Structure 1
Amino acid sequence: MVRHIVLIRFRPELSEADIAALFQELHQIDGKIPGLLSITAGRSESPEQIERGYMHGFVVDFSDWETLQAYQDHADHQRLGAKLVAGAVGGKDGILCFDLAVNAVKS
């Protein structure tokens, strides 16, 4: 499995409703790409409070690297990605992506 983690520093003029609409658009991709396992998005609720301005983010789980690539190539992702870049502080500089291979531990 591959976990796609995206953290975003949104521009201060974007309201929580604006951000929620972007995340709703993200959830609309669910079911369009075989192997996309789950999408979770929202605002940080960390008790540590060390987000360093990355107060919103999302995680998308994929069955494999090929599915992640299919997601990245998908037209809906391309459109949403452009909106996220436009809404982030400094454009792409306000977005942090991290892709992690997650291996199931067998007991």
Structure 2
Amino acid sequence: MIRHIVLIRFRPDVTEAKIAELFAELHQIEGKLPGLLGITSGRSESPEQMERGYMHGFVADFRDWDGLQAYQDHPDHQAIGAKLTEHADQGKAGILCFDLPVTD
């Protein structure tokens, strides 16, 4: 399994309601790609408080690297990715991506 981790530092003017709307749109891709196992999104509730401004994010789990590639190539992903970038602080500089192979 591949775990695709995305942390987002939204601009200060982006409301929680708008963030919820963006994440709802992200979740609409579920069920469209056979390699996508699921998406979890939300706001950090870490007691460590080490987010460094990256207070929101999501995790998308994929069966394999091909599933992640299909997601990255999908037009719905590209559209929501552009919207997330538009609302992130300093555009792409406000988004971190990390892909982690997970073994049983």
Q: TM-score, normalised by structure 1?
A: 0.96
- SS, match of residue 66 in structure 1: helix
Segments of 5+ residues of structure 1 without an aligned counterpart are none
Which segments of structure 1 move beyond 3 Å, counting only runs of 4 or more?
A: none
Letter of the 2:38 partner, please give it.
S
Q: Which amino acid aligns with 1:78?
A: Q
- Residue 67 (structure 1) aligns with: 67
Tell me the CA shift for residue 35 of structure 1.
1.4
Q: CA RMSD in A?
A: 0.4
- In the alignment, which residue of structure 1 is the partner of 2:2? 2
Whole-angstrom distance in 2 between the partners of 1:13 and 1:93? 17
Partner of 1:23: 23
Q: How does 1:28-67 map to 2 (within 5 A)?
A: 28-67=28-67
SS, match of residue 89 in structure 2 = coil
* Other structure's SS at 1:13 match: coil
Q: Greater Rg, structure 1 or structure 2?
A: 1
Identity %: 73
